[in-house]
Amino acid sequence: MNFSPGILAAFAAFAFVLVGACQFVDNESLDAGPLVTDSAAVFAALVLFGLVLPGRFGLPAQIFIAMVLGIAAGWGLAVAGRLVVVTDYLGVFGQLFLLPLKMVIVPLVFVSVLLGAAGLGDVRKLGSVGLKVTAFFLTSTSVAVFIGMMFFNVIHPGRGMQSVGDQYLAEKAAEGDAPEAKEAPALSAGMKIQKEILPQIFQNPIMVTDTDKAPILAIITLALLLGAGLGAIGERSESAIKALQAADGALITIIMWIMNLAPLGVFALMAHAIATLGFEYLQSLSVYVITVVLGLVVHAGFLIFVMVGLVAGISPARYVRAMAPAMQVAFTTSSSNAALPINIRCAVERLGVDRGIVQFVLPIGATANMDGTALYTAVATLFVAEVLGIDMTTTQQLTIFVMSIVISIGTAGIPGGSIAMMGLIYDAVGLPLEALGLILGVDRVLDMCRTTVNVMGDSIGAAIVARFEGRPAVAPSGVT
Ligand code: ASP
């Protein structure tokens, strides 16, 4: 930890100039009392999140602490009547965190979906194995989203939060950017397909007339087609794919950089939410966490008992014993990529699945097959819409269903990988990106759970494909 006077002076000067400039623009004069106390509060936050916490804790712990402190600060500052510190001054950092994230979403989605599709080109080359893998991935991910949406519709974790949503909407309206609930025009289904659905999927993504509304679905469609095209031209696409892989790596690195601002961003967003929305919101967050976890547990049950036990023909207990180390790594790292090597080892050496199939299915699965992420994305989107009191039309629900699956294919297997992608669904169904702040504080714990389910799906896929290829898993000797 470096408490050098230079950095402290820079933080102090920055806080002072920020608060002073804001005050001056708002009042055309400076208020000495609040200028000093507000600057001191901003300075303290900068020191805490810029120096103290990073020196002692890893990013997940910092984000968690930020959430707790955000709750306390939101409440305290609201009581003290200095909410402006969080909303206006520290809010700058909230946006500094959200906007760059928003900026890299489109290129990231484009590149990773494209690479995923190009990878599936390989899958097709492998004929029957490829077909079976794709069929399993799509089926299990769809089941996951279905389970998530079902639990959401039974529990309705955001119900009764109308007042929270109303407040949020009123505030946004005051700021002049109220998210509107899109009303479905009275069109026949056939006309809807022609006028609403298809134009969203196929349109020129480059000549966007309204830069605020990047045509996400069209970008995904183009990425899928281009990826399939690259997969189809074989060797000639090698250098292009290498370049795109490098771009993908660079974009993921940028996200890691932006995530360094997450603690300060989460602190500001959380404090804002508590100060304006109240404690009722916290209560609903816990119901939301329970909803996601319940969905994940039921889906894991489906995977283990139905997919492993019945379809792959392996005893569920043996599967869990063999794969436990991979699940543990997935749970603790929140990263499918980090868990990939151990997942491969466990599947081959402990579960006894054919090595060739494992080495083919698991690397693709680590990015393209994320049941937990798909389930989570759907529930998180529906929850935010419910809290904001925005009714999702059937078309929007269908969009959430399909996009959760597509996004899970494009999400990188890194901690918080899906967070960058969530903005896509929000855009598509008309939710404000700022609403991410409502769920970010509890994301890490849900990330641990969904990554475990993601990783299980890959080894199960390999075991099923192996069985249908006539090479069923055989318990290696010495492993029971
Ligand atoms: N952390 C997840 C994974 O690596 C991705 C996500 O949902 O954020 O599988």
Ligand 1 test: best mutation among 256, 292, 336, most atoms within 8 Å of CB?
336
| Average pLDDT for 164-170 | 65
Share of the chain above pLDDT 70, in %: 83
Residue 446 φ then ψ, to 5°: -70, -30
The rounded distance, in Å, linking the Cα atoms of 299 and 343 is 19
Distance 458 CA to ligand 1 centre (A): 13
| Average pLDDT for 135-162 | 89
The pTM of this model reads: 0.68
Distance 324 CA to ligand 1 centre (A): 18
**Helices and strands (H and E) in the chain: how many:** 22, 0
| Model pLDDT, residue 375 | 97
CB 373 less than 6 A from any atom of ligand 1:
yes
Counted residue by residue, the chain has a size of 480
Listed residue (387, 381, 429) closest to 168, CA to CA:
387
Distance 373 CA to ligand 1 centre (A): 6
Distance 336 CA to ligand 1 centre (A): 6
- Closest approach atom of ligand 1 to CA 418: 8
Q: Is the pLDDT of residue 452 over 90?
A: yes
Q: Is the pLDDT of residue 183 over 50?
A: no
Contact 456, 308 (CB under 8 A): no
Higher pLDDT, 71 or 382: 382
Which segment of 156-170, 224-238, 244-258, 348-362 scores lowest on mean pLDDT? 156-170
| Average pLDDT for 67-77 | 86
| Average pLDDT for 236-262 | 85
pLDDT band at 80 (very low <50, low <70, confident <90, very high): confident
Q: Is the pLDDT of residue 284 over 80?
A: no
User: C-alpha angle with apex 184: 423 to 109, nearest 5 degrees?
Assistant: 20
| Average pLDDT for 236-264 | 85
DSSP for 66-122, please give it: HHHHHHHHHHHHHHHT-THIIIIIIHHHHHHHHHHHHHHHHHHHHHHHHHHHHHHHH
Distance 298 CA to ligand 1 centre (A): 19
Contact 35, 19 (CB under 8 A): yes
Query: Which residues does 236 contact at the CB level (< 8 Å), separation at least 6?
Result: none
In the structure encoding, which two tokens stand for residue 253, read together?
């690195």
